[in-house]
Amino acid sequence: MDNATIGSKPNSPDNSAIYALAIAIMLGAVLVSASVYFGIGGLGDILIKSPVNTNAIVPSANTTASSNTTIFAPTLARNHGQDKTASFTIGGSTFTRPYVGPDNAKLTIVEFSDFQCPYCQMAYPTVEQFMKYYNGQVKLVFMEFPLTSIHPYAEKAAEAAECAADQGAFWDYYDQNFEVKTLTVDDLKARAKGLGLDTAKFNSCLDNGVKASVVNDLENAGANAGVQGTPAFLIGGQLTSGALPFENYTDQSNTTNPGFKTIIAAALAKAG
């Protein structure tokens, strides 16, 4: 049925019923789409161009921490120094990636994230919190996973972080992207200048899309690992999805779910 027909005045009770049914179907489709984007899990954005596996999303529309914890507050004054890099095999592909944490950490955590994703921004201080709590035991690797279908600035923000990585400043740039949050190309370039990077080299990298294929490869590796939305984490090889709190939490059904503190403790115990 075309739009003109849908919008025309019905001539009989039968046509009126058909008209009402069509409108109901359209509204239902809109509501279902909205629930997929906003409702599943409530803790992450969904890669809507892929089939949604609701089992991969941690259900928790409204969560309550099981205990009060002071949230670790990141600060732009932090200086990571020159990035450390190593080879990691993720989603069947091997990448040289910057990481934080000790070289001999018992546990590797891989974060798949999108700098424009509000849930990733929500998870950012929690990531800092568990890295501080498990200091010396875990290392963190970051993988770009921009959801370009719903976040128009995410792709260039991801490319910019990879351009910064070429100059050994990925983690400082990562902090800036999440804490300042403005992600236009001009903002991304100003950020590089503020960090003291070689701006001619950085701007050329960003303007010419030098890192577009790198970002695409990282995202494909995430999809191969089962990632369907952001944020997502491989913790000891096990996929955890959503901006979980640090402590255990209860959901709307009054079910207690493990937070990052518990999940990481279990992975460390398994690692031996």
Segment 112-135 shows an average pLDDT of: 96
Residues 24, 73 within the same domain: no
Sorting pLDDT into bands at 50, 70 and 90, what band is 80? confident
The confidence score (pLDDT) of residue 245 equals 96
Q: Using the predicted structure, report yes or no on whether residue 205 has a pLDDT greater than 50.
A: yes
How many Cα atoms occupy the beta-carbon half-sphere of 228 within 13 Å? 17
Residues 219-265 pLDDT 10s: 999 999 999 999 999 999 999 999 999 999 998 999 999 999 999 99
Residues 162-203 pLDDT 10s: 999 999 999 999 999 999 989 999 999 999 999 999 999 999
Q: Using the predicted structure, report yes or no on whether residue 10 has a pLDDT greater than 60.
A: no
Residues 87, 9 within the same domain: no
Residues 32, 79 within the same domain: no
Residues 7, 89 within the same domain: no
Tokens of 92: 């069947």
Q: How many CB atoms lie within 10 A of CB 173?
A: 27
Tally of domains in the chain: 2
CA dist 123 and 125 (Å) reads 6
Residues 30, 104 within the same domain: no
Instruction: Please identify which residue in the block is written with the tokens 């994703």.
Output: 117
CA dist 176 and 196 (Å) reads 13
Residues 59, 171 within the same domain: yes
Decide which of 139 and 73 is more confident: 139
CA dist 231 and 46 (Å) reads 9
Residues 51, 134 within the same domain: yes
CA dist 243 and 224 (Å) reads 21
State which residues form the domain around 71: 45-271
How many Cα atoms occupy the beta-carbon half-sphere of 76 within 13 Å? 10
Residues 138, 266 within the same domain: yes
